Amino acid sequence: MSLDAVLARIDADLPAATERLLELLRIPSISTDPAFKADCERAADWLVKDLQSLGVDASKRLTPGHPMVMGHVPGDGPHLLFYGHYDVQPVDPLELWDRDPFDPQVEDTPKGRVIRGRGAADDKGQLMTFIEACRAWKAENGSLPCSITFFLEGEEESGSPSLVPFMHAHKDALTADLALICDTGLFDSRVPAITTMLRGLLGEELTITGPDKDLHSGMYGGAAQNPIRVLARIIAALHDHTGRITVPGFYDGVPEITDELRAQWDGLGFDHTAFLSDVGLGRLAGEDGRSALEMLWSRPTCEVNGIIGGYTGDGFKTVLPSKASAKISFRLVGTQDPCAIRESFRKMVTEMLPPDCTVEFTGHGASQAGSFDTSGPAFEAARQALSDEWPDPAAYIGCGGSIPIAGHFQDITDTTPMLIGFGKDDDQIHSPNEKYDMESFHKGIRSWARILDALT
């Protein structure tokens, strides 16, 4: 077994690997739109056939929604599971694309060559980095280096309604020594990273009702309760003057990061001024005394994502609305309990209502944060393997978003997840003109080959 030979094979096969990815990208596997159901089936069939070409015992597994793809190769050493998803986001607004989103091409840009098309970065390009690493390994060595299970989902972009029941039903087949997840990115487009923290998410929608109909503000203004004013007061009360969130008990279970981890994050040289200037801002707006990376990765948040109330059309209408509503999300960390926070938030809002108003709540999901123990030898071996491939040493980082599958592996199969990806901040995932850098694709394949070598 020669890692150098595998890496050389990857380099030589890159044009063919790129063509395979382009072929997969041409399949419009949009999971949230029933009109593309057959295309999701077609993408699953394509992956089954491709895995079978590597000698993987692969098959399409039906669910109430879109199918899962599962495959397994027995072997000696550790049992690794690889997860990715083949479904993609809708392409609207289509007029903002520079080309047909399902006619992918390799393009030259001022920053280098990119693969342009829907799903290039999220997540078809990412999942194919692992499959191509396995292809090169098999070509050079005649077999894969260890026992590997492939688990590819078709509903990640539509809320994964079939995922948890499927994982419970196939728990034994999905239990491994380590679950490798390729749905994350590099740090600052240059530093390879292993994501070890994911924030949880709680969504709440509240609708406040005052008068039983919209009122003329000249006739009722001042005397009648205005639900928008009530809502504004509640929203303003969610943070104090230091940026801390005021929901009672909100910080229960929020840990402080270690001095070692803080020093590592400080060493990344993250420029929050440049980060904010990219979106027309310049000053940090979170909790006083916290660095930008702490705010993004290890601290919880409360954000208002939408407000509706009164007349919002063209011109002007002097109305006191009957109702006003807001959508509020909480990003959670540590062991914060989303159910307890939901109960405390609703109690706080209810207690702030004036006598003439009522409130109705609608929940929009609740998931806990995830954090992963990096003390085992596998994490340091993978970090060193990444460092050997990229110019800068790999880092353990956090992620401001939520990737529920990582927690499901922990909770359902008792398998530790390891999140490694090669996306960049400017990949425009979920947006028009999505792309994946050729460097990310090429070095991503080489990275997985190095990681497989290090773990086995």
Percent of the chain having pLDDT more than 90? 93
At residue 400, the pLDDT reads 86
Q: Is the pLDDT of residue 402 over 90?
A: no
* Model confidence, pTM: 0.85
Other beta carbons within 10 angstroms of residue 140's beta carbon come to 18
Q: Is the pLDDT of residue 329 over 70?
A: yes
Is the bond preceding 123 in cis, omega lying within 30 degrees of 0?
Answer: yes
Q: What is the average per-residue pLDDT within 8-17?
A: 98
Q: Is the pLDDT of residue 314 over 70?
A: yes
Cα–Cα nearest to 14, from 136, 142, 145? 136
- Separation between Cα atoms, residue 22 and residue 124, nearest integer Å: 10
At residue 451, the pLDDT reads 98
Q: What is the DSSP code (8-state) at residue 323?
A: E
Tens digits of per-residue pLDDT, 217-244? 999 999 999 999 999 999 999 999 999 9
At residue 1, the pLDDT reads 63
Contacts of 2 (CB under 8 A, 6+ apart): 140
Alpha-carbon radius of gyration of the chain? 24
Residue 2, SS3 per DSSP: coil
Question: Can you name the CATH fold of 3-198+370-455?
Answer: Aminopeptidase (3.40.630)
Architecture of domain 200-254+300-367: 2-Layer Sandwich (3.30)
At residue 159, the pLDDT reads 87
Tens digits of per-residue pLDDT, 26-57? 999 999 999 999 999 999 999 999 999 999 99
Per the model's pLDDT, the better-predicted residue between 455 and 1 turns out to be 455
371 pLDDT band (50/70/90 cuts)?
Answer: confident
At residue 349, the pLDDT reads 98
Q: Is the pLDDT of residue 167 over 80?
A: yes
CB 208 within 8 A of CB 230: yes
- Ordered by start, the domain boundaries in the chain are 3-198+370-455, 200-254+300-367
| Structure token digits, residue 117 | 């098309």
Apex CA 40: angle with CA 34 and CA 41, to 5°? Answer: 110
- Separation between Cα atoms, residue 47 and residue 245, nearest integer Å: 46
At residue 439, φ and ψ (nearest 5 deg) are -60, -45
Tens digits of per-residue pLDDT, 421-439? 999 989 999 999 999 999 9
At residue 404, the pLDDT reads 86
At residue 326, φ and ψ (nearest 5 deg) are -145, 150
Q: Give me the chain's average pLDDT, please.
A: 96
